[in-house]
């Protein structure tokens, strides 16, 4: 499981960067199923526009005394999205309950990232968690909160 988590975290960032640069990413045999899932489950469904400078982007807010590394910021339609990759998986029932608990767990972190990014971004910023193993994009600032990826 640990190797899969490492592969997914690196792979999501590498794919976003390749997409931003209009470059082809050639996966290893081990990466291939994850690449296909990311392309079909995220890129083809949401058509994000990535900027290479906002992938694995270090943010800092002196006001909030917080620093960290956000996974990716991109544009989807006319909105700016700040997306944090989560390599968690879930077995058993109550997937929606699990996703709600993950939203609560990471809400403060994403709000801090949003505040730091807002220092350089004048458009509204939406926040979401992306679970590549679950094929789910979970928004934190929508009334219903969850969208299938």
Q: What is the CA radius of gyration of the chain?
A: 15
Which residue would you say has higher pLDDT here, 92 or 149?
92
Q: Are the CB atoms for 36 and 24 separated by under 8 Å? A: no
| pTM: predicted TM-score of the whole model, two decimal places | 0.79
Question: What integer pLDDT is reported at residue 145 of this predicted model?
Answer: 44
For the stretch 52-104, pLDDT in tens is: 778 888 877 777 677 788 888 889 888 899 989 888 778 778 999 999 999 99
- What are the Cα distances from residue 126, in Å, to 1, 55, 82, 111, 144? 30, 16, 6, 10, 14
Question: What integer pLDDT is reported at residue 148 of this predicted model?
Answer: 44
């Amino acid at each position: 499981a640990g190797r899969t988590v490492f592969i997914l975290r690196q792979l999501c960032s590498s794919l976003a960067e390749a997409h931003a640069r209009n470059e082809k990413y050639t996966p290893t045999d081990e990466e291939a199923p994850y690449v296909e899932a990311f392309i079909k489950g995220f890129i083809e469904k949401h058509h994000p526009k990535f900027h290479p400078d906002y992938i694995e982007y270090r943010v800092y807010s002196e006001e909030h005394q917080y620093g960290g590394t956000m996974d990716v910021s991109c544009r989807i339609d006319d909105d700016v999205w700040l997306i944090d990759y989560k390599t968690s998986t879930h077995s058993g029932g109550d997937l929606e309950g699990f996703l709600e608990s993950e939203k609560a767990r990471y809400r403060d972190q994403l709000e801090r990232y949003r505040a730091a990014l807002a220092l350089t971004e004048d458009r509204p910023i939406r926040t979401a968690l992306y679970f590549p193993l679950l094929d789910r994009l979970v928004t934190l600032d929508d009334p219903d909160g969850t969208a299938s990826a």
